Chain A
Amino acid sequence: MIEIKGIYKSFGEKEVLKNISATFLPGKNSLIIGSSGSGKTTLLKCIVGLHEPTKGSVLYDGQDFTEMDFEGRVPIRKQIGMLFQNSALFDSMNVEKNIMFPLDLFTDMTRAEKLDRANFCLEKVNLKGTNKLFPSELSGGMKKRVGIARAISMQPKYLFVDEPNSGLDPKTAILIDDLISEITEEYQTTTVIVTHDMNSVMGIGDHVVFLHNGEKWWEGTNHEIAHTDNKPLNDFVFASKFMQAARAKL
C-alpha cells in the first residue's frame, strides 16, 4: 500500500501540486488523471522520489520514503518497477540485457537463471524471441512491452506507469492496458498509472484520482465517474463528442 499525505511541490515561485493526499491499494489499478499541465507526472515523480516534495510525505507500507536518504531508499526502490512514457530502454543494450540489468546489479542469480527470468518476462508480454533486438529496432508498442518486462523482472511490489498509451494505436493501447491490469491482479502489485486516456480510465480504473490545476478535485471508481456532477471532471472526461454521445445514451 502507498499513502501520500499532503503533498505540495513548487518549482521556484510556481506551485505545481497543492495538498494532495491519496491511498493506493495492492491489487488495484490506481489511475491519476487530469489534463496536460495538471501535475500528474510531477505527482508520480514525487511518489517515486525523482522529485522531492516541498511538503508532505509518501509512505510505502507505512515507511516514510520522503524522510529516507539514498541508502535508505534502495531496499524500497528494489521493489519498484516503472514504465516510462517513452519506455526509457537503455539504447546500448539489447532487449535481453535491458531486462537482465536490474538482476545483474541486485541479485546473485546465475547467468542461466537471469536468462530464464528474462525469457519468462518476455513471454509474459508476448515478445518471445526478441532477446537480441536493440531498442532502435522495436516499434512503439514493442518498446512499451519491453519496458513492462523490465519493470516486472524484479517481481516488484509497486508498479508505476507514466502515460502507457501515448503514441500507440487504440488496439495496442488496449493490449498494454490489459497487460498492466493482468500483472496487477496476478502479482497483487500496487499499481499507479498516470494517464489522460479515457479508454484506460473506463477499462481498468479501479481507483481514479482526478487532478485539476495541481489540486485533487475528485476521487472514485471508473463506474462512478460517469455520474459525477464535478464540473472540471466532466469537462475533462466528456471533452470529446464521442464521450458526450456515450453519456447521452447512459
Chain B
Amino acid sequence: MFYSFGRYILLLRLSFRKPEKFSVYWAEVMREMVSQGVGSLGIIAIISLFIGAVAAIQVAFQLVSPLVPREIVGSISRDSTILEFSPTISALVLAGRVGSSIASQIGTMRVTEQIDALEIMGVNTPGFLISPKIIAGVSMIPLLVIISVILGLSGGYIACLVSRDIAPTDFITGLQNGFNSVIVTVCAVKSIAFGFIITSVCSYFGFYTTGGALEVGQSATKGVVYSCIWILFGDLVISSLLL
C-alpha cells in the first residue's frame, strides 16, 4: 500500500513538470474539458433532477406534522443537495463515467506501446497524458456540480408541483430561509477535491497497466473502485473539517 502511494505521489510530481510546449498541452486541456465536461452533462442532468425530486418527496413524507413548518422541506432539500447529493453522488457517477474512460484510455496506450512511443520522442509522458486530465477535472467537475445543484433544486420544485404534498411557494420560501453560505464553500471544496481524486487515481491505474486487454479492463475497474473509496473518505474529512 505504501509502495503504491509513493508511486502515485511520484507520478503526480512528474505530471506537473514544465511542459515541452505550452500550446500543445493547452490543446490537450481543452480537449479533455470538452470530453469530461460536455460529455458528462447529460448523465449529471438526469441524476440531479431525479435525486432532487426524490429528496423533496422523502423529506416531505418524513416531516408530516402540524408542528413542523412546511417550508422546512425546501431548506432541508437545499442543504442536503448542496452539501451531499450534488457533489458526492455526482462524483461517484463521474468516477464511473470519466474515471473508467481515463484509466482505459491511458491503459490502452500503455499496452499498445503508444506511451513508449511518446517516451522515445522525449515527451514527459505523465505530464502530457495526466496533467491535462487533472486540470480539466478540477475545473469541469465543479462546474458540473453547480449545474447539478441547480437541477437538483429544480427537481425538488417540480416534485412539489406534481405531488402537491408541499406547496411550491413553501418550497421556494424554504430554499431562501436560513441560508448559510458555508455550505457553498464546502460544496466547492468537495467538488474540486473529488475532481482531483477521480482524474489522478484513474490516471495512476491506467499508467501502470501491464499486460493486455484484460488488464486494461482490470485497471479501469480498480481506478473506479479506488476513486469511489477515496471520494467517500474525502467527503468525510472535508465535512468534518469545514462544518
Contact = CB atoms under 8 A, between A and B. Distances in A.
Interface residues of B, number: 16
Interface stretch (A14-22, A80-88, A175-183, A218-226): A80-88
B120 A50 contact: yes
Contacts of A70: 124
DSSP majority for the A interface?
mixed
A247 interface: no
Given A84-B116, A84-B117, A88-B112, A105 B124 contact: no
A86 B112 contact: yes
Contacts of B123: 105
Contacts of A101: 121
A49 B119 CA distance: 9
A106 to B, nearest CB: 7
Chain A interface size, under 10 / 10 to 19 / 20 to 34 / 35 or more: 20 to 34
B20 interface: yes
A89 B20 CA distance: 20
B21 interface: yes
A56 interface: no
B113 interface: yes
A50 B122 contact: no
A90 interface: yes
B24 interface: yes
Interface in B86-126: 108-109, 112-114, 116-117, 119-124
Contacts of A102: 121
Contact of A106 (B109, B117, B122): B122
B172 to A, nearest CB: 46
Contacts of B109: 90-91
B105 to A, nearest CB: 8
Interface string A155-177: 00000100000000000000000
Contact of B114 (A73, A85, A88): A88
Interface of B: 20-21, 24, 108-109, 112-114, 116-117, 119-124
10 contacts: A48-B120, A50-B116, A77-B119, A77-B121, A84-B116, A88-B112, A88-B117, A90-B117, A105-B24, A154-B121
